[in-house]
Amino acid sequence: MRLKNTLTNIKEEFQPLGDRVGIYTCGMTVQTIPHIGHMKTFITADVLKRYLIFKGYQVTHVTNFTDIDDKIIIKAKESGEDWRALAQRNIDIFFKVSDHLNIMRADYYPRATQFIEEIISLIDRLIQRGFGYIVDGDVYFPVERFPKYGQLAKKELKELMPGARVAVDEKKRHPLDFALWKAAKEGEPWWYSPWGKGRPGWHIECSAMSMYLLGETFDIHTGAEDLIFPHHENEIAQSVSATGKNFVRFWIHNTWLSLSGEKMSKSTGHYLTAEEILQKYSPQAIRLFFLKSHYRMPQEYDEDRLKEAELAFDRVRAFLNRVEPIGEEVLRLTDFEAAMDDDLNTPKALGIIFELVREGYEKIDSSEAKKIAHSVRVLLEVLGFDLAPSISGREKALIEELIRLRSNLRREKRYDLADQIRSRLKELGVIVEDKREGSIWRVVR
């Protein structure tokens, strides 16, 4: 399997370091509820993880929450809510949305505030080794002391334009030095540290938590491309400086989701929440919308594309509804794996699944169709599509009773009533189709 590594900018053959594949996904700063753009990142990581598991790897997956930072403090102060309650509320919504989208739960969901001790000892280690300096209770990382600074983002220290958009803090020795620890101002939350009361800087938590849970060198770190600089660059600088070891072997970054041609961003308010999108579209359609485009290609949020995905997935679901899956063998598996092995080419993999579906329809009443149904099921599940029925047994029995009644009406040519039942069921999300051999039905949405 080859994965495009941001560090080297080429597709590299992936081999795990040890028995288990360690994956760290940069999670949310829980100052707001998740928007649809966030979900692209978590679905990308989900597909990578599911595919690795499918290939037989043991995976340890970590997704963090940044539950303390400037904006959380500001927001809490503005609303009068306790900052912990605010963070928890957003975390709760994240889980609700994430589960709804059938994103596999990570093995660990560490929070910055639960790792203060580890963070402090990591900062201490950095200071001991000369990679941290203290100014008025703040601790900064001196980027000039790390020769490879900029290697991930392919930036040269002297070519960067510090202060281009934000005033340079005169406390720092170099404008790009970043805070490992921030002294608490009046009224802010704080923890005790050797440098006084304060809180961790943004980047250090990810180094502390990932190394604690996955080891000082681990396999895969994922996130959206906007985190490459400075966040991931800083993670590397801190971690390597503290341990003297390589930090992450594969850096995987997905693109942003844009909205009306502009980046979707919570700081500008230019975004749509995940919850509102889930009101309008099925989790499967949303997943299909994302996977139809390669994770590293620019993608625009577009309602028409979502509607399209809904129709396309409905066709697949209707096939699986009609044909009982039978068999062991997964057809087209070699093609599917070749696509996925090539840096997770989900658009190509989906193309293979759609080809199978068409072939299945062609041979709808044959045993071949049953084998195809089994194959389609397996492959869709590798990609994380939830194919479980969305209705209860009682609902199913009721619907089938109505269909039976309607069939009798049709036999008696009482089409007015039969059509009424059909259109009423449609309003309720149950599609009825009359075939030569009888009526079939399925649930949409």
Residue 31 CA: distances (Å) to CA of 84, 94, 203, 205, 223: 10, 11, 16, 16, 18
Helix (H) or strand (E) holding 338: helix 333-341
Q: Which tokens sit at 287?
A: 């997943």
Pick between residue 20 and residue 305 the one whose CB is nearest to RNA.
305
Q: How far is the CB of 5 from RNA (least distance, A)?
A: 13
Q: How far is the CB of 212 from RNA (least distance, A)?
A: 19
Q: How far is the CB of 241 from RNA (least distance, A)?
A: 18
d(CA 212, CA 216): 7
Cβ-based burial of 42 (10 A; exposed 0-12, middle 13-18, buried ≥19) = buried
3-state secondary structure of 429: coil
Pick between residue 41 and residue 113 the one whose CB is nearest to RNA.
41
Please report the DSSP string for 226-294 in residue order: GGIIIIIHHHHHHHHHHHSS--EEEEEEEPPEEETTEE-BTTTTB--BHHHHHHHS-HHHHHHHHHTS-
3-state secondary structure of 200: strand
3-state secondary structure of 342: strand
Pick between residue 7 and residue 17 the one whose CB is nearest to RNA.
7
d(CA 63, CA 367): 43
Pick between residue 226 and residue 381 the one whose CB is nearest to RNA.
226
Q: Are 200 and 180 in contact (CB under 8 A)?
A: yes
Q: Which tokens sit at 144?
A: 């000039």
Pick between residue 15 and residue 260 the one whose CB is nearest to RNA.
260
Ligand-binding site membership of 71 (annotated): no
CA atoms within 13 A on the CB side of 65: 26
Q: How far is the CB of 314 from RNA (least distance, A)?
A: 8
Please provide residue 126's backbone torsions phi and psi, each rounded to the nearest 5 degrees: -65, -45
Pick between residue 154 and residue 245 the one whose CB is nearest to RNA.
154
Helix (H) or strand (E) holding 58: strand 58-63
Ligand-binding site membership of 231 (annotated): yes
Ligand-binding site membership of 266 (annotated): yes
Ligand-binding site membership of 96 (annotated): no
- Considering only CA atoms, which of 170, 226, 237 is closest in space to residue 201? 237
Amino acid at 380: L
Q: What is the dihedral of CA 137, 139, 142, 145, to 10 degrees?
A: 110
Q: How far is the CB of 389 from RNA (least distance, A)?
A: 18
d(CA 318, CA 322): 6
Pick between residue 99 and residue 302 the one whose CB is nearest to RNA.
302
Residue 443, Cβ neighbours under 10 Å: how many? 17
Ligand-binding site membership of 174 (annotated): no
Q: How far is the CB of 300 from RNA (least distance, A)?
A: 6
d(CA 248, CA 235): 10
CA atoms within 13 A on the CB side of 276: 8
Q: How far is the CB of 224 from RNA (least distance, A)?
A: 3
Q: How far is the CB of 162 from RNA (least distance, A)?
A: 5
Enumerate the known binding-site residues. 26, 206, 231, 235, 266
Binding-site residue ranges for Zn(2+): 26, 206, 231, 235
List, as residue ranges, the binding site for ATP. Answer: 266
